[in-house]
A = this chain, B = another copy of it.
Amino acid sequence: MKATYQFTGRLLICCADRPGIVARVSQFLYALGANILDASQHSTDPREGLFFMRMEFHLENSTSDRHAFEASFAESVANPMQMDWRIDYPDHRKRMGIFVSAYDHCLQELLWRWRSGELKVDIPLVISNHESLRAEVESFDIPFHYLPVTKENKAEQEAQALALLANTGIDFIVLARYMQILSPTVVERMPGRIINIHHSFLPAFAGARPYLNAYTRGVKLIGATAHYVTNELDEGPIIEQDVARVSHRHSVEDLVMLGKDIERQVLTRAVKAHVDDRVIVHGNKTIVF
C-alpha cells in the first residue's frame, strides 16, 4: 500500500500575462485532487503586462509529498511558463526574530498577539541594543539577547546577530522600532524578509524625528508605514500604512503617543500579511492579496 499525504499550500506566482495561466495552474491542481480554498489574481496594466496570483489549496490523499509536488509543478507548469514562484505551507510556522531598542509598544503588541494565538509564528529570539526590555521579553518565555552597538563594534555586533538568526532558524525579522540602520550586507542576506515600521506616512517625513517634523509642518494627519527594508533608507516596498487625525491641540508628545497606536496597528497588519503569505514584492512595490 502506497503512502498518501495531505497538506495545504499557498502558491505565489509572478509571470508575464497571457491566456491560459489560471487554466494551467488550476488544471494542475485539480488533476491532483486539490481543492482551491482561496485565490486572488492581479493583472497589471497591459504596458507592464504582468500577472500575479496567490492560490491557497488543500490536497487530501496525495500520492506526492511536498517535495514531489513542487518538482512536478516546476516541471509541468512553472518552468514552461517562466514563472517566478514560491510555495509556503501554513503548517510550517514561520520563525520570527524581533529587533528592538528601548520603545516597547510595537514589541508588546507583537508578543501579545502571538500569545493570544492570533499571530501564528514561533519567536525564538528578541535582539536588543538595550537591556531595558529583558524582563518583559522573558516573561513571555522568549530568549532575550542583549547586543549593544557602537560605531566601533557594529560589524561585530551584526555578525553576532546573524549567527543568532542562523542558529535559531529565523525566517524573517521585524524591526519593532529598532533605532539602528542595518548594514547593507545584513539587508542583502534577507531580501523581502526584514519588516520595518517607520513612524510616519512615507514618503512624508522620511528619516529621523518624523513627529517633530510633522508638528513643525502643521499637518492635519499623522501616519505610520510598514515596509520591507532595502538599502535605500525608508525607500523599501510599502506593505501597509495608516493615519490618524490631529490638530493644533496636539503637542509633539501627543503626536508621539498617538503615533504609537498607529504604529502598533500598521505593523501588526503588515506582519500578519507576511505570515499569511499574502505579499508579493515586485520591484519596489508590493501586491498584498
Contacts and interface: CB of A to CB of B under 8 A. Distances in A.
B43 A38 contact: yes
A41 interface: yes
Given A30-B20, A204-B204, A221 B242 contact: yes
Interface residues of A, number: 62
A265 interface: yes
B238 A217 contact: yes
Contacts of A37: 43
A116 interface: yes
Contacts of A205: 203
Given A26-B23, A38-B43, A243 B221 contact: yes
A72 interface: no
Nearest to A205: B203
A17 B27 CA distance: 16
Contacts of A27: 23, 26-27
Nearest to A27: B23
Contact of A202 (B21, B204, B237): B204
The count of identical subunits is 4
Given A43-B38, A201-B201, A248-B42, A218 B284 contact: yes
A45 interface: yes
Interface stretch (A104-112, A142-150, A180-188): A104-112
B218 A240 contact: no
B139 A116 contact: no
B42 A40 contact: no
Contact of A39 (B41, B218, B285): B41
A241 B237 CA distance: 24
Interface in A4-35: 17-24, 26-27, 29-30, 33-35
B217 A241 contact: no
Contacts of A105: 116
Interface of A: 17-24, 26-27, 29-30, 33-43, 45, 52, 104-105, 108, 112, 116, 118, 139, 201-205, 217-221, 223, 237-243, 247-249, 251, 257, 261, 265, 284-288
19 contacts: A18-B35, A19-B35, A19-B36, A22-B30, A22-B36, A23-B27, A23-B30, A27-B27, A39-B39, A42-B249, A201-B221, A203-B205, A218-B237, A218-B238, A220-B239, A220-B241, A221-B241, A243-B243, A261-B265
What 3 pairs across the A-B complex have the smallest Cβ distances?
Answer: A218-B285, A23-B30, A204-B204
Given A203-B219, A218-B286, A220-B238, 11 more contacts: A19-B34, A19-B36, A21-B36, A22-B26, A42-B249, A105-B116, A108-B112, A202-B219, A218-B285, A219-B238, A247-B288
